[in-house]
Structure 1
Amino acid sequence: MHNKTNKSMPLVRVLGVMALVVTLAGCSVNPLHKITGDVMTGYAQKENTPYVLAMTDIEMACSLGESVDPLLYSFSRVTMAPEKTGTLLQILSGICMEQRAVEEELRYLRADYNGNTGNMRDARENMQRLYGITANRRVEAYQRMLRGFSYDPVPGAECPDFYTDQDEITFLLGLAAGAQAVIDNGKARGRAEVPRSIAAEVERSADCVDNEKWAGLPKALQASIWVLLPDLRPNKDVDPWATLKNSRELGFERGLRTSAALELLMAENVGKDKVIADSLAYLERTRDEFQVNPEYSLPDLVGMRIAWAVSDRIWTEKYGYRTPRDQFGKTGKETDSKDDVDTEGLL
């Protein structure tokens, strides 16, 4: 009996050492990861987010979203998920994917113009795939926003508590991402399976932020939903197009032209050519007078990129090429007799 106990002691000691090693490894690695994650999340929320919102390089900003999001969110395995910062990162990554989808859409329109059926079919298929990915990213941004504010957008729900302007713009951009996801899913022929209930959630939730303060964007979001789902209008006398026009003008006054982008998207979606022409002409006519809010340069530029994309689709469908730089604000050439090819610029 004594010998048996002595023989078992080395095994007990080995197991004890292994347990100690595992404990020490856990203490030395996991807490470090957690601290790193907390520091990165805090920095991203307090410093990086306002910096990105003020950026004037859309490509660099969207690349940041695609590259940083997996890194930052990997720390959710050891600490709380950075939902509010993650909302913006997914919005940025959605901008990247949308631009790729737009390029395929323009390729489709060029192929259609030139009668190239093969290229047309290929571009349309790829366009729908990319819009599906765009919709998925924007749904994720919307859902992160909901989690970040512990907000359930059911009828009668209380609005979240906002402690800073950054909280409000994060909430608002998250709502915009949700609305755009519904539109993108339509362009993807339903590939992303975005619930249409998101539209009603966005319409209700937009009342949580002040319309005057945020350059008409809350009302523009609501009016966009009223165009998609007329039954959600508060009463039949409400004209969504008048609301969108007022939001566009308020956006100009407050230094943020994002509302105009929503107006253009909705007008394009339902074939309101006169609204498109009026909105594009307004953006060009007011361009020299417009003063952007420098804190939100990026959302303004993204709005203008959407406006250019709408214009490019019109020009490409009509003429086989995108909007010339000196023709923005017009929905077509004033005369077909002028040779508008800049041969020097091609050299």
Structure 2
Amino acid sequence: MTTRADASRSFWRQAIVRRTRSAVLSVLAAASLGGCGVVNHMIYSTTGDVMQGFSREHTMPYLLETRDLEMACAMSESVQPLLMSFGRVTDNPDQLAVMMSLQAGGCAEDRAREAELRSMAALRARQPEQAEDAIILQKRYYALAAQRYFKGWRHFETFYGDPEAEECPDFDEDMDEFIYLAGLLSGLQALNAEIQSTAPVGVPKNIGSIVARASGCLDNEKWWGAPMALRATVWAMIPGAQPDGEDAFERLQASDAIGEAEGVRISHVFHAIAAWNKGDTERVKAVIRRHADAIEKRPADPEWALVDELATHNILAISDRLWMENTGHRTPMGGLGTFWDDEAPVGEVIDLDSLL
């Protein structure tokens, strides 16, 4: 039985073969006429088309099935300039740019978080100069993250059209829908990173409401509860955004259950962010505990392993911030879902005398 994914792969292979055959004939014809510049352009154009097709058909699915976020981060930062440069000789790879910009923005945001932890540790050690330096570095990285996220948002708008339009775009396959979801996340992350950086990047201030509306174009059950979680997070974070009769945190709870059942728990991240924004530490801790319990009970969906790993990575980052603020160190190894004020000792016990 031929699946939709198989049909898509077959389409891309046939398209690449057709483009390559046509390009070869054109190159031979141009070469016979002495058009070196034309020949070079055709070679570059064909290479760009092949690279784009291969990246979409193989590289992206391969990465999504891995759990190595560091590798995905390195690839997005190093390969993006190469792939995007083919936009000079053929169609701009806007869809790929959405994914790579989102991942590259996450790389910069991770560095901002590391700088924040350094600043918190320095403050606890009564080292104000080091703390101030780390805070400056944190804001620089958040500014870079905002620029990268917003770049992804602009590519998203170019490929899918105006997200404020009344009609939803036509999706040809599941990957189109997933990248649409990634584009919405890029927009929301761009706004959050810009706020954290305190530096203007140009992100529209109404992008949250745009994302909330556009998320309705995606099937909530199919995409692990993430579309509704995105929408509910906007309701929780923006005063007056929540519609009458709705409860953002009830919606987030329901989305969490969908993600847990499917093995892609990205909704937990939105839930924790919404609770953090409200200053509800106990709810944040409850979401972290729920996530830790969920990943123990059910393995990630193999097809979307990277997305689930990204969820755990972000939940751990929130946990680290809480631990650092209250203890001066990050979440202990194996201690995700536990906290310093739990009744029983958790995590590994370090003999400080052995470190002297």
Q: Which residue of 2 aligns with 1:158?
A: 167
Report the 3-state secondary structure (helix = DSSP H, G, I; strand = E; otherwise coil) of the residue aligned with 1:271. coil
Distance in 1, Cα, partners of 2:351 & 2:93: 49
Tell me if the contact between 1:129 and 1:188 (Cα under 8 Å) persists in the aligned partners: yes
In the aligned structure 1, how far is the partner of 2:277 from the partner of 2:231?
16
Specify whether residues 337 and 52 from structure 1 end up closer, same or farther in structure 2 by C-alpha distance, changes over 3 A only. closer
1:250 aligned to 2:258?
yes
AA partner of residue 128 (structure 1): K
Displacement of 1:336: 10
Task: Give the secondary-structure state (helix, strand or coil) at the position aligned to 1:286.
Answer: helix
Aligned with residue 349 of structure 2, among 320, 336, 340: 340
Q: How high is the TM-score relative to the length of structure 1? A: 0.88
Q: What residue in structure 2 maps to residue 286 of structure 1?
A: 294
What is residue 241 of structure 2 aligned with on the other side? 232
Matched residue type, 1:295: E
Tell me: CA distance 1:90–1:328, structure 2 relative to 1, closer, same or farther (3 Å).
Answer: same
Shift of residue 167, structure 1, vs aligned partner: 0.6
SS class of match (2:220):
coil
Q: Is the 8 A contact 1:179 1:199 kept in 2?
A: yes
Give the structure 2 partner of residue 37 of structure 1. Answer: 48
8 Å CA contact 1:132–1:190 kept in 2: the answer is: yes
Change (3 A) 1:337 1:300: closer
1:249 alignment partner, SS class: helix
1:64–1:92 Cα contact (<8 Å) kept: no
Aligned partner (choices 84, 91, 104) of residue 102 of structure 2? 91
2:67 matches 1:56: yes
Aligned position for 1:13: none
Greater displacement, 77-86 / 137-146: 137-146
* Equivalence for 2:36: 25
Aligned amino acid, residue 303 of structure 1: A
What amino acid is aligned across from residue 233 of structure 1 in structure 2? Q
Tell me what 1:175 maps to: 184
Task: Give the one of 112, 133, 158 matched to 2:123.
Answer: 112
Is residue 63–residue 92 contact of structure 1 (8 Å, CA) maintained in 2? Answer: no
Q: Is residue 88–residue 141 contact of structure 1 (8 Å, CA) maintained in 2? A: yes
- Normalising by structure 2, report the TM-score: 0.86
Does the 8 Å contact 1:113/1:319 carry over to 2?
no
CA-to-partner distance for each residue in 1:28-51, whole Å, 9 max, x for gaps? 211111111111111111111111
**Is 1:221 equivalent to 2:230 in the alignment?**
yes
1:126-205 alignment, distance < 5 Å: 126-149=137-160, 151-154=161-164, 156-205=165-214
**More deviation, 266-275/318-327:** 266-275
Partners of 1:273 and 1:22 lie apart in 2 by 72
Kindly, what percent of the aligned residue pairs are identical?
33
Shift in CA distance, 274/335, structure 1 to aligned 2, threshold 3 Å:
closer
1:268, 1:310 within 8 Å by CA — same for their partners in 2? no
The aligned counterpart of 1:301 is 309
What is the alpha-carbon root mean square deviation over aligned residues? Answer: 2.3
Gaps of 5+ in 2: 1-30
Q: What amino acid does structure 2 have at the position aligned with 1:197?
A: N
With 282-291 and 203-212 compared, the bigger mean Cα shift is at: 282-291
- 2:218 paired residue among 206, 209, 215: 209
Q: Whole-Å Cα distance in 1 between the matches of residues 344 and 263 of structure 2? A: 36
Distance in 2 between residues matched to 1:203 and 1:105, nearest whole Å: 29
3-state SS of the aligned residue for 1:147?
helix
- Deviation for aligned residue 1:21: 12
CA distance in 2: counterparts of 1:208 and 1:141, whole angstroms = 19
Residue 181 of structure 1 aligns with an amino acid whose one-letter code is A
What is the distance in 2 between the residues matched to 1:219 and 1:321?
34
| 1:6 matched residue in structure 2 | none
Shift, 1:83, TM fit: 0.6
| One-letter identity of the residue aligned with 2:279 | G
Higher relative contact order (CA 8 A, sep 6+): 1
What's the counterpart of residue 333 of structure 2?
325
- Letter of the 1:91 partner, please give it: L
- Cα distance change of structure 1 residues 297 and 337 upon mapping to structure 2, 3 Å threshold: closer
What amino acid does structure 2 have at the position aligned with 1:204?
R
**Of the two, which has the highest radius of gyration?**
1
